[in-house]
Chain A
Amino acid sequence: MKEILLGNDAIIQGALVSGVDFVSGYPGCPSAEIGDNFAKIAKEKGVYVEWSTNEKTGLEAAVGASFSGLKTLVNMKSFGINVCSDVLFPLAYTGTKAPMVIVVADDPSCHSSAQSEQDSRGYAFISKIPVLDPADPQECYDFTKLGFEISEKFNTPVILRTTTRAAHQRAIVSFEEAEKKERKIGNFVKNPHQFSTMPPRVLEMKKELLEKLKKISAYAEKSKGNKITGNKNAKIGIITSGVSFMHANEALLELELNLPILNLGIFYPLPEKMIANFLKGKAKVLVSEEMTPYIEKEVIRIAKLANPKIKIFGKDILPEIGELNPELLCIALAKITGKKFKKFSAKTLTLPKRTAMLCEGCPYWYILPTIKRIAPEGTIFGGDIGCNMMGALPPHSMYDYMFCMGASIGIGHGISKALQPASAQGSGVAKKVITFMGDGTFFHSGVLGLLNAVYNKSNPLMIVMDNRITAMTGHQTNPGMGKTVMGEDTEELQIADIAKSCGVKNIRVLDPINIKELEETVKEFLDKKEISLIVCKRICALLARRSQKAKEG
């Protein structure tokens, strides 16, 4: 079949044709379509799909499924690999039983990401797990298949590292339609020798892993995942990875050059012999990769033996921050080849900046301005990831710090303790810490920060906006909703009840539209000597409008 597919949908097709049985993960941009769209076809295709509570539980679930003989796919955005890295490293040691592909979606230029501009390829070096880097939707499909093949052949998990411009690219993809199948029931065959990472066995496992990597390296050297295009006899070459392969091709057209490109679809293990051969006989090579110069550093090392006279260009003429595009490649290639290229000079227009903000009718509109207004001067506000992120932008511009999922309360506890006098808990603390997070974030990791604040006796005021959905990432289900992503009924977890059983004494659940009640509760809790929690329960405005339309339509 040939269809236009979104990169993420191409990954779904690749997984289906590989016979995937089990899909887990946590929603984020630019990967969320994988879990969402998989859930829509789950029953029909005989696949189990879940949105897990976070990336760690998501990967753990997949490990369990893999050990039980089910083929698994995990999907998350870049930062998710940080959350599940504690599972990832031992997984390389134990290896998988049934094959597993882990999709990690990076976001160069941070179009939809806070925290940092993360280059998740780096995890390959610590974890020693193969990493594939697709340039477009066709490679998203091909490399998902390749990932399952490598995983099956070597019993290793494989990371499929996408970026926004590949995952959210639409292009024509040639793919096979997957055969129908029944949902597979797993079978757990006991194997503690392989599944349990106790010392000293774990050191033996490390030795096995290093041996395994040599075999995977040899396999990578011959793999179709890496390819060379263009005029092989030219003295100047380009080495690319990911979507920069597409930009390089575009630049060659623009500059009317015919140069060879070595595109590394397999980032780790790098096909060193292939690279060495590519470097031989060339005078110059440009390494084109987004963000960190990982490949560039390896190429410099390989060149010392393969071709010590070659001039290697990379981050000296391409940026280390931000995504690449054809124009940047044109500028770099023009410098190296001496071809003329006139950079387009964009006009400087001074126009009012439009920033993102909360949707019309969002319950946060009641909460953020109210609390900002009544909080005493010097109150410290902690922000988190999700829709409440908008609190960092005008017109609120409220947050004093913002890090990663759940950090509002985690860091808030630290500030609260730091400001506490050494005497008995909570006496005379002048400045209060008020933290904000959503229900999705609470279930992801906020609850853990809450536990620490109770146990280690700080007194922030924690606000949880329970809008009945995980909203910012595209309205996914979470444990507070009583529904799974496959549409089944399940326990509806109550944030207030959880907090109560975690020992929080001061809890109020209210509808934030009642501004007076919110004001009075906040004023009351400002004086509390222990942690307090206000759960603001009101449905997301977009969700409310859609449910209304669905009822009418």
Chain B
Amino acid sequence: MSLVDQAAVNEGYDVRSSELHGLSQRGGSVETHVRFGKKVYSPLISNGNVDLIISLEMLEGLRETAKAGKQTKFLINDFVSPFQGSLTKEEIKKQLGELKNEMHIVSASDICKEKLQNEVVSTIYLLGYAVDKKLIPIKAESVLKAIEKLVPEKYRDLNIKAFNLAK
């Protein structure tokens, strides 16, 4: 999400984001909040105020719907990280289907695995999708500029491919 931060700055916005470290690698769920606009104060998004929720995993996407306002759009990776007692994909899709919010369920992990032999960039694929479908008011060039600036050379091509793949 530092790509979104940088892309927003590239377009002249003020931006603040808040992240949590540590527990995500150990299977807990972590949230990153990104806010950009003319002037931003708090790095935290209030419940009900979020414009877009991007979720890398389905159950967590469903969990986030509790905080959704009517305007909140969802972009969810069609991917489950299962655990004992978790819900099935079908069960999750059913519950997501009951909501009135604009919902995009995209097989980012599968597509990246198939076309790029790399699942880690599924986040970038989702970002490309969000930009292409105008779920985020950010131009593709701004993100590509951000990738140039922030991604180490050896991974740049892969990231650019993943971003463009969603078009």
Task: List the A side residues contacting B28 at CB < 8 Å.
Answer: 354-356
> From residue 233 to 261 of chain A, which have CB atoms closer than 8 A to chain B?
243, 246-247, 249-250, 253-254
In the complex, what's the smallest C-beta–C-beta distance from A111 to chain B, in angstroms?
5
Binds A, one of B80-88, B106-114, B125-133, B159-167: B80-88
From A4, A30, A346, A474, contact of B15 by CB (8 A): A4
Binary flags per residue of A348-390, CB closer than 8 Å to B gives 1, else 0:
1101101111110000000000000000000000000001001
- Closest chain-B Cβ to A432's Cβ sits at a distance in Å of 29
- Contact in complex: A474, B46 (CB < 8 Å): no
List CB contacts (< 8 Å) of A323-367 with chain B.
325-327, 330, 344, 346-349, 351-352, 354-359
A346 adjacent to B43 (CB under 8 Å) = no
Q: Is A170 within 8 A of B2, CB to CB?
A: yes
A487 within 8 A of B: no
Q: Which of B40-98 contact A (CB under 8 A)?
A: 40-44, 46-49, 59-60, 62-63, 65-67, 69, 83-87
B41 cross-chain contacts in A, Cβ below 8 A: 246-247, 249-250, 253
- Check A165 for interface membership: any CB of B closer than 8 A: yes
Size of the A side of the interface (Cβ < 8 Å), in residues, is: 46
Say whether A472 faces chain B, with CB atoms less than 8 Å apart.
Answer: yes
Tell me if B20 and A326 are in contact (CB < 8 A): no
How many Å lie between the Cα of A352 and that of B95 in the bound state? 13
Question: A473–B23 Cα gap in the complex (Å)?
Answer: 9
CA distance A317 to B17 in the complex (A): 27
Residues A356 and B15 in contact, CB atoms below 8 Å apart:
no
B119 CB-CB contact with A under 8 Å = no
Q: Are A354 and B59 in contact (CB under 8 A)?
A: yes
Give Cα A247 to B23, complex, Å.
Answer: 25
Point out the residues of chain B lying under 8 angstroms from A348, CB to CB: 66
Residues of A within 8 A of B14 (CB): 172
Given contacts A349-B63, A352-B87, A354-B83, contact A136 B5 (CB under 8 A): no
- Nearest CB in chain A to that of B13: its residue: A172
Q: Which residues of B contact A243 (CB under 8 A)?
A: 42-43
Check A112/B44 contact, CB under 8 A, given A352-B59, A354-B83, A356-B28: no
A325–B35 alpha-carbon span in the complex (Å): 14
12 example contacts (A-B, Cβ-Cβ < 8 A) are as follows A32-B21, A112-B21, A136-B16, A168-B21, A169-B43, A172-B9, A249-B42, A250-B41, A346-B48, A352-B86, A355-B27, A358-B26
Q: Give B residues with C-beta under 8 Å from A.
A: 2, 5-6, 9, 14-23, 25-29, 40-44, 46-49, 59-60, 62-63, 65-67, 69, 83-87, 154
Q: A30-B21, A249-B41, A354-B59 are in contact. List 6 more A-B contacts (CB 8 A).
A: A249-B42, A349-B62, A351-B59, A354-B28, A355-B28, A357-B83
- Per CB-CB distance, the 3 closest pairs between chain A and chain B, nearest first, are A344-B48, A356-B28, A249-B41
